[in-house]
Chain A
């Protein structure tokens, strides 16, 4: 067990190193330079550009830039090229905002998709199964921003639920209770939207796992010896079907960044995805690279956790 953990940590560090190299190369080999973002601005005289390049080591060769960048990152001194703020501080603020959205979305996703998936597996081929199958394909296939706009029109016109930002403007002084309610109303639509595609995918996955287990001999035996249907489904089948989902707990971590760009831009939610989008627009390389690095770390931590969980949960796996 310990040797497995050690080995996989070393492996992940190597992977992380390559990820850092690849992302650095992708960003820096693309044509154009951040010093040329705004060539028409009269303040950008050639001397200014030169000073800018020097201040951010852009005049150095690529490998030196790489070392500088990751030295700064690990000592926490990376600053954004756009506003000279500390990148880690900026990301941390945005991270907390994204985390809120992510947690609510994940709770919605897991609590809704399991009952749907289990029910459609139990009544396989029935009307419920067929309609939930179609509905989940429908939700997977709809472009998320199109769906968001439909929902916004519908919701704003009929329920007056706020759809922009994290809180109502100028609400800072009111009682904590009304502030909390305001925050929840603002969370509602973005979290539902970010959960919806996940619900569709996850409920399909739950269904197929349940179907696989329901076909096993021990479930047939349990039925044959006259157990109540509920006991067969929830005690014998579901427990065994749950096994793969333990690993998925680790896999959802990276969803913090990747999937949220569009949703956060639509709802003006000041999260990480939107910050990444703004950084890309401004060619703010330190922010882009740091977000990329953080998300790679999240992915690796996620897979690590799921490996460990699998080891703990499934006694058949020995390393």
Chain B
């Protein structure tokens, strides 16, 4: 049986010419480029990538082309576009560009070089944090949406409770009790499949029925967890954790990521609840595909649009959060320069050296603005419900 669309066309013998076929990408681009702000956002988005990559290449290594950490006390607080003071500097201290494009800071470091280095760090913070959030969000949202109707049994709940209680006791310095509980929990999990087999078929005794008693659905479990996470004031939580953990750029990425996955989870779950009932998923299931393949190959591509949008905007938020943390003194520690800590260092010299505040501030503004505009443009173009009727 030939099911290709061309044979179909011939069968119906359509007289009128068909609408020109467009790939989804072309259709998307047609809609997207109508929104001029979004296109501008995308241009800056790409530009920022290029700048960050170039910045990484130019400022890395032992002897970088543009040195962001070279201290030149003779040349401190020079305004933008100032020429270096050639008589005072050692020959190897003279900046390669021959001019301080964005001026120098209170230690005479080249702000342009620090901005270049910081762009890569800011970009990584944004991307890794959002990456973590998206992975956790897709995973939990996918489970809640796809397997949500299933119930957690009493036995599973007990096993989990044993494991958690064991872990807590272990941390609370009750080594033996904790280890015993952990082993009990692990034992439950190991013998669970065997027990299931032995229980099946025969008439179930009372304890087995209790054991298999359905408690709450997986969906409820995960969404209540989301509710719990949403109860924390997010910036305050991030601040607390970052302040208590040792200062490191990775901690900041991980903490921002682990406190911002709730939105993605909700999106993905909502999409999955709709998609699960659609015919193509039923067809995939009827073909005997594995759940894993159905989720990741068939459902995820259809659910990914809102995730993409929220990720784009999430990167912007993460960069802003990092800047806020830096401002409060908990940001990425030196020697890494980020736009956030250049800005917060510069605020002490706001009257004497306003460029130290304005250069990174406007940099953050432009990048975050472009990410936001790009994300909103994506949302409009990817969501058929929001399109103008024309």
Residue of A nearest to B36 (CB): A130
Interface pair A15/B228, CB less than 8 Å apart: yes
Task: With a 10 A CB-CB cut-off, give which of B172, B239, B240, B328 has the most chain A CB atoms.
Answer: B240
B171 touches A292 (CB 8 A): no
User: What A residues does B369 contact at CB under 8 A?
Assistant: 137-138, 141
Chain B residues with CB under 8 Å of A254's CB are 233
Which one of A78-86, A108-116, A143-151, A185-193 is at the B interface? A143-151
Q: Is A295 touching B233 in the complex (CB atoms < 8 A)?
A: yes
Q: Which residues of B contact A262 (CB under 8 A)?
A: 324, 327-328
| Complex Cα–Cα for A314 and B17 (A) | 48
Instruction: Kindly state whether residue A35 has any CB partner on chain B within 8 Å.
Output: no
Q: Closest chain B residue to A25 by CB distance?
A: B168
Chain B residues with CB under 8 Å of A208's CB are 386
Is B233 in contact with A257, judged by CB distance below 8 angstroms?
yes
Q: Which residue of A lies closest to B233 (CB)?
A: A258
Return A201 CB to nearest CB of chain B, in Å. Answer: 11
| Distance from B270 Cβ to chain A, minimum over Cβ atoms (Å) | 16
CB <8 Å contact, B235 and A259:
yes
Alpha-carbon distance between A153 and B347 when the two chains are bound, in angstroms: 12
Residue of A nearest to B347 (CB): A149
* Contacts A19-B232, A27-B240 given; does A261 touch B361 at CB 8 Å: no
User: Could you tell me the distance between the alpha carbons of A240 and B324 in the complex, rounded to whole angstroms?
Assistant: 38
Within 8 A of A (CB), among B212-267: 224, 227-228, 230-237, 239-241, 243-246
B364 within 8 Å of A (CB atoms): yes
Q: Are A292 and B174 in contact (CB under 8 A)?
A: no
Does A276 reach chain B (CB closer than 8 Å)? yes
B227 and A15 contact, CB distance less than 8 A? yes
Q: Mark A119-154, 1 if CB is under 8 A from B, else 0.
A: 000000000001001100110111111100110010
CB-defined contacts of B169 to chain A, threshold 8 Å? 63
Which of these, A18, A143, A153, A277, contacts B320 with CB under 8 Å?
A143
Q: Is chain A's interface secondary structure helix, strand, loop, or mixed overall?
A: helix
Who on chain A is nearest to B350 by CB?
A: A149
| Chain B 339-364 interface mask (CB, 8 Å, partner A; 1/0) | 01001100100110000010001001
Q: Mark A275-287, 1 if CB is under 8 A from B, else 0.
A: 0110011010000
Q: Are A299 and B230 in contact (CB under 8 A)?
A: yes
| The residue from B37, B236, B372 contacting A292, defined by CB atoms under 8 A apart | B236
Contact of A261 among B173, B239, B241, B340 (CB under 8 A): B239
The reply to whether B243 and A280 form a contact with Cβ atoms under 8 Å apart is: yes
Would A22 and B228 count as touching, CB distance under 8 A? yes
Decide if the interface of chain B is mainly helix, strand, loop or mixed: helix
A26 at the interface (CB under 8 A from B): yes
Chain A, range 187-235, C-beta contacts under 8 Å to B: 208, 215
Contact, CB under 8 Å: B172 / A26: no
Cα A130 to Cα B316 in complex, Å, equals: 21
B37 touches A277 (CB 8 A): no
Contact flags (1/0) for B162-186 with A, using CB distance below 8 Å? 0000001101111000000000000
In the complex, per-residue mask of B305-346: 1 if CB is within 8 Å of any chain A CB, else 0: 000000000001000100110011000000000001001100
**Residues in A whose Cβ lies below 8 Å from that of B240:** 26-27, 280, 288, 292
A63 in contact with B172 given A142-B365, A258-B233 (CB within 8 Å):
yes
In the bound complex, residues from chain B placing their C-beta under 8 Å from that of A22 are 228
Do B241 and A140 have beta carbons less than 8 Å apart?
A: no
CB–CB B365/A23 < 8 A: no
B231 lies within 8 A of A299 (CB): yes
Q: Is A32 an interface residue (CB 8 A)?
A: yes
Contact among A25, A153, A300 for B350, CB-based, below 8 A: A153
Chain A residues with Cβ under 8 A from B171's Cβ?
A: 29, 62
Point out the residue from A15, A25, A134, A146 that lies within 8 Å of B343, measured CB to CB. Answer: A146
A31 at the interface (CB under 8 A from B): yes
Determine if A87 is an interface residue (Cβ-Cβ < 8 Å).
Answer: no
Q: Give the most central of B173, B233, B368: most A CB within 10 Å.
A: B233
Residues of B within 8 A of A29 (CB): 171
Known: A26-B240, A141-B368, A288-B240. Is A300-B172 also a contact (CB below 8 A)?
Answer: no
User: Does A55 touch B at the CB level, under 8 Å?
Assistant: no
B368, chain A: closest CB distance, angstroms: 4
Q: Is B389 an interface residue (CB 8 A)?
A: yes
A26 and B241 contacting across the interface, CB-CB below 8 Å: yes
CA A32 to CA B246, docked complex, whole Å = 9
Q: Is B373 an interface residue (CB 8 A)?
A: yes
- Min Cβ gap A137→B in Å is 5
The closest CB in chain B to the CB of A299 belongs to B231
Which of B173, B224, B228 is packed against the most chain A CB atoms within 10 Å? B228
User: A30 interface residue, CB < 8 Å from B?
Assistant: yes
Contact of B324 among A16, A137, A141, A143 (CB under 8 A): A143
Flag whether A97 is at the interface (Cβ < 8 A).
no
Q: Which one of A143, A145, A273, A288 has the greatest number of beta carbons of chain B within 10 Å?
A: A143
The 6 closest A-B pairs by CB, nearest first: A258-B233, A30-B244, A146-B361, A62-B172, A141-B369, A141-B368
17 A-B residue pairs with Cβ-Cβ distance under 8 Å, sorted by A, are A15-B231, A31-B245, A137-B37, A137-B372, A141-B320, A141-B368, A142-B368, A145-B324, A149-B350, A149-B361, A153-B350, A259-B235, A261-B328, A276-B236, A276-B239, A281-B243, A296-B231
Interface contacts beyond A19-B232, A29-B171: sample of 18 additional A-B pairs, CB < 8 Å, sorted by A: A19-B231, A22-B228, A26-B237, A26-B240, A31-B245, A63-B169, A141-B316, A143-B327, A145-B344, A146-B357, A146-B361, A150-B361, A153-B351, A257-B233, A262-B324, A273-B236, A281-B243, A296-B231
